Amino acid sequence: MIGDSNPIRAAESRVALVKGTADLLPESFARLERLESLLLDRFARAGYQPVRVPVLENRTLHERKSGARIVANLYQVAGALSEDVCLRPEVTAGIVRAFNDAPDPQTLPWRVSYAGPVFRLQPTGPGVLREFQQVGVERIDDRGDGGDAEAIWLADWSLAEAGIADATIRIGHAGLIRDLLKWSGLPLGVQVALVEVLGEAAQGGGEATSEDRILSAMESHLESLAAWLGAGKADEEADVPADDAGVDRLFRTLYPEVIGRRSGRDVIGRIRRKWDLGHGLSGVLSKLRDRVRELANLRGPALDVLDRLGRFEDVVPAMSRELRTLVDSLRAYGIDPARVELDLGFGRGIGFYSQMMFVLLADTPGGPLEVCGGGRYDGLARALGSTGDLGGVGFAFGLERLREILDARGHDLKADAPQERTLLVANSPEAYGLAAWLRSRGQTVVVESPGRDQSSAKATSFTRVIHVDGTKIRVMNLATGVEAEPKSRDELLRLLTPTGARP
């Protein structure tokens, strides 16, 4: 006999939820949507208009500027016609691309808001998803004045409107470390890598403080740099004679066949550069280490740090001015300076942001949690192909994270007034036409077959029940128990208007 002898078929194994994703059933979806709508509404009040950009983007878009951690966690789309397609890990790059691609020039400043899913292939854990919702804004402009303060204020005000009015605003600046590294003379690739390593350490977890992690990462990286240059120097002193022709001859003798995609010329060229670098950087690394240590200590209440910033003013006078202006502007917006901290070491996103960057931290019973992050990314538009010298600033809320924090603080947005919902019990096909007619006039109508009693209808949040039997219509208000038999569709529609004890 073919098949199962048991007439009751065995259940198939369940198809599990993809790791790092979450279902939003009606109640939790409604809460999240209320939060999203509130944020988008507050963004709109400041002139930010909603846009939507694709979830699928070219991998190159994110490789160019999204930061090492984000790029390392990209979801590649398998089986796509182009192997370079990925699910977006954040929205900013897509929006800047959309700005560049817009058929008509957009009026500056270009203020837009967005909401949608982003995807990161990261280790999951409590509060860490791989698909999550971001709601945020971007402002693209050819001038920077006022944009930073507007972004920070808007993020803080929107958060207050959602129920968290006492967030700490932590502001950093990527300019200082970038300038210091430029001064060090390290190759650009090595500078970028160091910035990424420090940003990664700032973002990492564990028991150590962010400052300790950063310093430890820096020590380790600088040690590697010293070993690298030291090792290189020793080799070259032994193997590389001074005259160029001699070097080439020696190399060709030692390695008559060079495998791989690099030529002997590439190898020799780079070994000369490395030799120069090893000698040129003597002593620079220890100075760099000292300056970076000083920077890591530049954190605390805004006014206090601005005072201590004096010793760096000769190095980066523009940055010092910018920060003072920013703190003054936030005060003018009504933000208490006691809620503002400056952290001029490093922080989240120094690989991505070019200057100001900020996070909002909300207190929870389990300690402060980051609920929103943003900053200025001048140069991104150009990096993505724009010919204009445009800057940008923006921020994003992690919607699930915000909801968790609101839950932890015992706060929830008020639900809208319950919607009037009508259950139409259909005895005949005519009922379908009536349901369609009512829906086209703004009513919420659900059609069911006979058999659902009034108590179960009430339990599933219906407010009225309509029974249709041929041409006869009977409607009952489940809250009051009042019944009526309208003679026409128009009379039925009037009865469905939710006032008083009308059914």
Binding site for another protein (CB under 8 A): 19, 63, 68-69, 71-72, 123-124, 187-190, 192-197, 200, 221, 224-225, 227-228, 231-232, 235, 239, 251, 254-255, 257-262, 264, 267-268, 270-271, 274, 351
Structure tokens, 327: 């703190």
Least distance (Å) between residue 234 CB and another protein:
9
- Report d(CA 444, CA 361) in Å as an integer: 41
**Looking only at Cα atoms, what is the longest distance across the chain?**
107
Report whether 331 contacts 370 (CB < 8 A).
Answer: no
- Report d(CA 383, CA 96) in Å as an integer: 10
Pick the closer one to another protein by CB: 192 or 493: 192
Pick the closer one to another protein by CB: 267 or 332: 267
Pick the closer one to another protein by CB: 262 or 321: 262
- Report d(CA 75, CA 66) in Å as an integer: 14
Structure tokens, 322: 């910018």
Least distance (Å) between residue 76 CB and another protein:
10
Pick the closer one to another protein by CB: 44 or 271: 271
Instruction: Specify which residues 467 forms β-bridges with.
Output: 425, 474
Q: What stretches of 356-493 adopt beta strand conformation (E)?
A: 356-362, 369-376, 391-398, 422-426, 445-448, 464-469, 472-477, 483-484
Least distance (Å) between residue 189 CB and another protein:
2
Chain centre distance of CA 432: 45
Least distance (Å) between residue 364 CB and another protein:
24
- Report d(CA 109, CA 142) in Å as an integer: 7
Pick the closer one to another protein by CB: 188 or 501: 188
Instruction: Specify which residues 375 forms β-bridges with.
Output: 357, 394
Least distance (Å) between residue 68 CB and another protein:
4
Least distance (Å) between residue 350 CB and another protein:
11
Angle (CA) 413 171 112, round 5°: 55
Pick the closer one to another protein by CB: 48 or 251: 251
Report whether 426 contacts 432 (CB < 8 A).
Answer: yes
Pick the closer one to another protein by CB: 189 or 365: 189
Locus of tokens 């529609």: 493
Instruction: Specify which residues 356 forms β-bridges with.
Output: 173
Pick the closer one to another protein by CB: 195 or 426: 195
Report whether 354 contacts 376 (CB < 8 A).
Answer: yes
Report whether 464 contacts 496 (CB < 8 A).
Answer: yes
Least distance (Å) between residue 391 CB and another protein:
23
Residue ranges of the alpha helices (H) in 46-132?
A: 59-65, 68-72, 92-101
**SS3 state of residue 354:** coil
Chain centre distance of CA 31: 20
Pick the closer one to another protein by CB: 238 or 417: 238
Closest C-alpha to 413, from 162, 202, 242: 162
- Report d(CA 437, CA 449) in Å as an integer: 18
Least distance (Å) between residue 231 CB and another protein:
5
Least distance (Å) between residue 197 CB and another protein:
4
Residue 280 to residues 185, 201, 273, 285, Cα–Cα distance (Å): 8, 28, 10, 11
Residue 43 to residues 37, 357, 361, Cα–Cα distance (Å): 10, 19, 19
Pick the closer one to another protein by CB: 10 or 78: 78
Pick the closer one to another protein by CB: 191 or 329: 191
